[in-house]
Amino acid sequence: MSTKKGHWQPQFDNQDVILEEDKLLTQGFYQYRQMTVTHRSFNGEKITVKRDLLWRPNAVAVLLYDALADKVVMIEQFRIGTYDHPSSPWLLELVAGIVEPGESLVEVARRETLEESGLQIGQLQHIYKFTPSPGGVREYIDLFCASVNAEQALGLHGLADEGEDIKVHVFDTQRAFSMLKDGSIDNAPAIIALQWLQLHRQDLQESWR
């Protein structure tokens, strides 16, 4: 039985799963693995399943918010995962990056914000830790909101040796909310962060000003 705190607790935890086989199929930027596990079932029995798994390292994503100007800073870049997007494979996103060995989450947030937007962040608010696609991807994302000066957000950014080509955008917060509502912003971290901002915008304006 899980010992997690909160309003809901799962019936089982990781002690109720046995890893029978973990086979590395492909090693590239990410790992592609085939795993066989046996786990307890809700009817009191056990189930053995074989699943393909894309193994991605943990990541950090940051919503950049200027509370004084009431503006958000977002980035635009090409994404291979949406190469067949019905509109465009260039998405409006949050700055984000992988957690390197030995790095703290705060260090990643500051590094990626500088690399992808050219901005320095001030105050930092942790929003959530979540997994975006647990059906077949092992990845955990820590989501933050950071205070920035939107007037300094200009130009093109990214690391050339990593194939990054990033354009910075500054939006009035209400316009960002409108783009969220009409589906122009359609990737999970940005959706979650902007919905969180809708709930906490006034508090941030009072505390970050």
Q: Are 113 and 64 in contact (CB under 8 A)?
A: yes
Active-site residue, 162 included: yes
21, 100, 115, 162: which is the annotated catalytic residue? 162
Residue 167 CA, chain-centre distance (Å), reads 19
- 60/143 Cα distance (integer angstroms): 6
Q: Which amino acid is at 125?
A: Q
User: What 3 state SS string does the chain have?
Assistant: CCCCCCCCCCCCCHHHEEEEEEEEEEECCCEEEEEEEEEECCCCCEEEEEEEEEECCCEEEEEEEECCCCEEEEEEEECHHHCCCCCCCEEEECEEEECCCCCCHHHHHHHHHHHHHCCCCCCEEEEEEECCCCCCEECCEEEEEEECCHHHCCCEECCHHHCCCEEEEEEEHHHHHHHHHHCCCCCHHHHHHHHHHHHHHHHHHHHHC
- Annotated active-site positions, please? 162
